[in-house]
Chain A
Amino acid sequence: MLVSVKVGIPRALFYYYLFPLWKAFFEYLGAQVVVSPPTNKEILNMGVRESVDEACLPVKIYYGHVMYIKDKVDLLFLPRLVSIEKKAYICPKFMGLPDMIRSNLTGLPPVINVDVNAVKGQRAYKKAFFEMGSHFSSSFRKINRAWNEAFKLQSRFEELLVSGYFPLEAIGILESGHKGEKDKHDAAHEIAVLGHGYTIYDNFLSLNTIKHLKEMGAKINTVENLPLNIIERTAAKLPKRMFWTMGKRILGAALYYLERSQIDGIVYVTVFGCGPDSMIADLTERYARRRGMPFILITLDEHSGEAGVITRLEAFMDMLAWSGKNENHFSSHGKLVDIC
């Protein structure tokens, strides 16, 4: 192949979970991977214009990224992520996303569209990758090697996450090859920031929630910072098995942080209209309340003014500080926090 094929990957949704795997896989097969830029106002506006009103913000932003990248690539990577593990789905919208995009957007380049459905077993997951690979190579061995290489890189990515990095930092480390300075300021409080990865790690979407919390003196733990086996073990204690992968991980992490680790509060970041979160956030809040753990729910939408979020986060952090210093029966929920 003289000129390598340009494969476009939208920087949204599962980019924050699986990008190293996808990138390494395509690059090993000789493709050039093109990623849309970090979400910005233009991308958001394009997404909001093209998608249905009721879709959640991450899906709208995904539309925007697809719009941005579609004319700049030869092939668009648009998988149908039904399930990435046994007996658990991701979200109904993910299952219909390729059909939604195809219905709503015109002028799409050729699309790599495979169904990734590991609900009945992990083998289907690998099979989906072989189907993707067949766009680039007819050699089974080559695709197999690409899969192995990609999987290795993904494992390193996940190790980095567990050692305390966030996905964007970890992707940066994998690309540049050296670890940056980990910001080691003294943290007054340890906080768990929970939510779907594509919500909390997209700085534009989350209105820099993580950055603001750090500036307010918080050390931040997320779902991705916990090893998967610990999360699975804690999530297995739920009275009914949770059938959304992300939901299960968030609940597992929440229970872990509530039970064992020394955190001072939970910040749950969700988006308007997120189906799974409407239940998981509520369950997390209930579990947190029963243990007297401070909890705040931040719901985001297209509104892009940061001040409101900052005010609420400040109030939350102040409350944590005061409850440590002044009195130990300071209300951690209900009137004081919920109303603002």
Chain B
Amino acid sequence: MKITFPHMGNLWISAKALLEGLNLEVVVPPPCTKKTLSLGVLHAPEFICLPLKINLGNYIEAAEKGADTIIIAGGRGPCRFGYYCRLEKEIMDDLGYNYEMIVLEPPEKSFFEVIQDIRAIAKCSMLQIMNAVRTAWLKCCVVDEIERKVQMIRARESCPGLADGIYKEALKDIDSAQRGKEIISIKRRAFEALNEVPVDPKREIVRIALVGEIYTILEPFANQNIEKHLGKLGAEVKRSLYLSSWVNDHLLGGVLPLESTKEACRLAAPYLNYFVGGHGRETVGSAVKFSREGFDGIIQIAPLTCGPEIVAEAILPEIYLSEGVPVMTIYMDEQTGEAGLITRLEAFVDMTRRIKFSEKDSDLLILRG
């Protein structure tokens, strides 16, 4: 059994660590490229959301490397992701791939249901499972910590690209590290290197929050490297979602004192008074939260035709009117040209910078970006 899984940002590092810790053979799909997307687009339904298209590409490319089993999360709706596992299976069957599908349905009560699911796949001892989970979790947290630091440095570095170089190197090291101590020392080294990156103290930094649908926020290929572009424009980026906080919220039942989206859900009222599936309510709530935390601009990213995010998009202008922080919505689809995106980002960052650094203009009514 050679297991593969779809890409979602840095998920592969933790997923690989977890599955290998369970003595399973893992095939990590090649990084997402335009070819991945083209393969997916070719075989996916026309109006399905972007993640499924990229997932299909991942599976096809992983099959070329010998994968025969897919592991993916399930769901109970109303977001389309809940039925991904089934539709993807049907599509792969029709294409003639012989994939086995392991679906992890969301736990109803506790994390132990996930453990039980895992035990059904991997025949290994409880101790091994706990070790694998611990290593995977540690990698997940360390990656996120380094990433947050990189998001700070990107906006300030005087020579663009240095921070990303260190980040890339650190990810590679974390992936190959086996033991906790190693991972911690990689983190220390990465932080030291990042602290030494020369920064330009005169830059006028704006703080931009990214909110929206989890996949398009976490997967740089799906959002056309929006964070890097924003960094180059001198914007410090913070996301509403990091993998570690998502895992803590949804798989560990929120037991660890990490930043949680629960608060965002609470803040969504009175703008949006009900959950709408996916991350719609988190998007609205996070926009409110970031507005109140003093961010200079909020960008919503989502795959085209994503229902929950359309609801959020309709409500965000109201948040701008009452909280006063500019909001922009960007939909991601199969269009891969970056120039249009960069132009929009430039305009948005310029606008937020003007509001922040020139007092007299701040009374002007700014329409949605």
Which A residues lie at the B interface, using CB under 8 A?
A: 51-52, 54-55, 80, 82, 87-93, 95-100, 103-104, 115, 238-240, 242-244, 272-279, 281-283, 286, 299
Contact = CB atoms under 8 A, between A and B. Distances in A.
A80 B274 contact: yes
A55 B307 CA distance: 8
Interface in B290-335: 304-308, 310-315, 317-318, 331
Interface string B59-84: 00000000000000010111110110
A99 B314 CA distance: 9
Contacts of A82: 274
A52 B314 contact: yes
Given A96-B272, A276-B80, A239 B314 contact: no
B46 interface: yes
Nearest to A88: B77
8 contacts: A92-B310, A93-B311, A95-B274, A104-B314, A273-B304, A275-B80, A279-B48, A283-B86
B80 A103 contact: no
B271 interface: yes
Nearest to B307: A92
B177 interface: no
A239 B305 contact: no
B77 A244 contact: yes
A115 B274 contact: yes
A245 B306 CA distance: 18
Interface residues of B, number: 44
Given A95-B275, A278-B305, A103 B318 contact: yes
Given A92-B308, A99-B311, A242-B83, A54 B331 contact: yes
B306 A275 contact: yes
Given A95-B276, A103-B314, A272-B47, 14 more contacts: A51-B314, A87-B76, A90-B78, A91-B307, A92-B276, A92-B307, A92-B310, A95-B277, A96-B312, A99-B272, A100-B311, A243-B82, A274-B47, A286-B91
A80 B275 CA distance: 11
A270 to B, nearest CB: 8
A239 B86 contact: yes
Contacts of B46: 278, 299
Contact of A96 (B94, B280, B305): B280
B271 A103 contact: yes
B80 A99 contact: no
Contact of B273 (A99, A238, A273): A99
B254 to A, nearest CB: 22
Contacts of A272: 47
Contacts of A286: 90-91, 94
B314 to A, nearest CB: 4
A286 to B, nearest CB: 6
A67 to B, nearest CB: 15
Given A51-B314, A54-B304, A55-B314, A243 B45 contact: no
B46 to A, nearest CB: 7
B223 to A, nearest CB: 17
Contacts of B311: 92-93, 95-97, 99-100
A279 B87 contact: yes
Contacts of B76: 87, 243
A240 B85 contact: yes
B73 to A, nearest CB: 13
B278 interface: yes
A103 B276 contact: no
A273 B305 contact: yes
Nearest to A117: B274
A176 B308 CA distance: 40
A299 B305 CA distance: 14
A82 B91 CA distance: 30
Given A92-B280, A240-B85, A282-B45, A54 B310 contact: yes
Contact of B310 (A93, A240, A281, A283): A93
Nearest to A50: B314
A243 B105 CA distance: 13
B87 A99 contact: no
Nearest to A280: B83
Interface string B28-70: 0000000000000000011111000000000000000000000
B201 to A, nearest CB: 41
B47 A273 contact: yes
Contacts of A103: 271, 314-315, 317-318
B315 to A, nearest CB: 5
Contacts of B103: 240
Contacts of A51: 314
Interface string B274-291: 111110100000000000
